[in-house]
């Protein structure tokens, strides 16, 4: 705000809160000093921005909710909160300049952040990763139907020796058999999605250790089929 806007703000505050009449200077010299003081403290705070900030709203909110007379800090604090909130919601978009031009790249990033913080541009919010049927991108869904999987068949075949349980599960599903890993195994207590485990029984009858099985227990297959 410039000095003219500061003077208009003080007049606005004086109309809303009669208590400030005692603090608003009427002598020409004192009024000049008060304008200089408020301008020094609120010079970087705009009167209003295109995206939600208005210093008069902040002043009115303070007068409505606080029993104390308004001070410059009571307007500077909401402005700083406004800036922090906008920057927290901002994700730097890719600059449009040549990435090899480091100075121009940095300048565009800094300029965008300053515009967002100043309220002259909207934050560029990152799109959240969606889940569930309601959030699936139609183009992505169509592409997955076309290729059948996000993992190419050659890569899936190359990974099969390193994840045998998954390979057996995928082969069963491809053949139209029930997915045994979709249910809990009552024998080894493996949870859904986890492979069955082979229990090693000691001489005393207690389990000494477990090792993952490439194939699920027969009882788990029966339970999945049921």
- Encode pLDDT of 116-168 as tens digits: 999 999 998 776 555 555 556 677 677 666 555 667 777 777 877 877 777 77
pLDDT at residue 45 in the model = 94
Write 160-165 long-range contacts (CB < 8 A, 24+). 164/214, 165/195, 165/196, 165/212, 165/213, 165/214, 165/215
d(CA 79, CA 117): 10
pLDDT at residue 131 in the model = 53
- Distance of CA 192 to CAs 32, 82, 93, 132, Å? 75, 46, 40, 19
- Encode pLDDT of 15-66 as tens digits: 888 776 555 555 677 888 888 999 999 999 999 999 889 999 999 999 999 8
pLDDT at residue 60 in the model = 94
pLDDT at 93 over 90: no
pLDDT at residue 133 in the model = 54
Residues listed for the chain: 226
* pLDDT tier, 169 (very low <50, low <70, confident <90, very high otherwise): confident
The structure tokens 């990033």 sit at 109
CA atoms within 13 A on the CB side of 124: 10
- Encode pLDDT of 68-86 as tens digits: 889 999 999 999 999 999 9
pLDDT at 102 over 60: yes
Work out whether strand 207-212 and strand 197-201 pair parallel, antiparallel, or are unpaired: antiparallel
- Encode pLDDT of 188-221 as tens digits: 878 887 888 877 766 666 656 567 777 788 888 8
Q: Please tell me the least confidently modeled range out of 2-6, 140-144, 176-180.
A: 140-144
d(CA 179, CA 195): 11
Q: b/e string for 122-148 if b means 16 or more Cβ within 10 A?
A: ebeeeeeeeeeeeeeeeeeeeeeeeee
pTM reported for the whole predicted model: 0.53
pLDDT at 182 over 90: no
pLDDT at residue 25 in the model = 57
pLDDT at 1 over 80: yes
């Amino acid at each position: 705000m410039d000095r003219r806007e500061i003077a208009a703000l003080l007049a606005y505050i004086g109309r809303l809160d009669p208590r400030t009449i005692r603090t608003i200077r009427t002598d020409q010299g004192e009024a000049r000093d008060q304008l200089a003081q408020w301008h020094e403290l609120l010079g970087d705070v705009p009167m209003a921005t295109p995206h939600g900030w208005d210093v008069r709203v902040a002043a009115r909110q303070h007068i409505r909710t606080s029993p104390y007379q308004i001070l410059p800090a009571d307007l500077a604090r909401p402005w700083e909160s406004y800036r922090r909130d906008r920057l927290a919601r901002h994700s730097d978009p890719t600059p449009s300049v040549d990435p090899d031009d480091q100075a121009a790249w940095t300048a565009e990033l800094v300029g965008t952040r300053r515009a967002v913080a100043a309220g002259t541009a909207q934050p560029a919010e990152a799109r959240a990763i969606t889940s569930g049927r309601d959030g699936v991108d139609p183009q992505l869904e169509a592409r997955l139907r076309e290729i059948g999987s996000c993992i190419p068949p050659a890569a899936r075949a190359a990974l099969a020796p390193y994840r045998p349980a998954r390979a057996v599960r995928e082969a069963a599903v491809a053949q139209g058999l029930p997915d045994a890993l979709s249910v809990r195994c009552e024998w080894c207590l493996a949870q859904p999605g986890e492979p069955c485990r082979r229990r090693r029984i000691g001489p005393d009858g207690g389990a000494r250790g477990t090792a993952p099985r490439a194939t699920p227990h027969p009882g788990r297959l029966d339970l999945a089929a049921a």
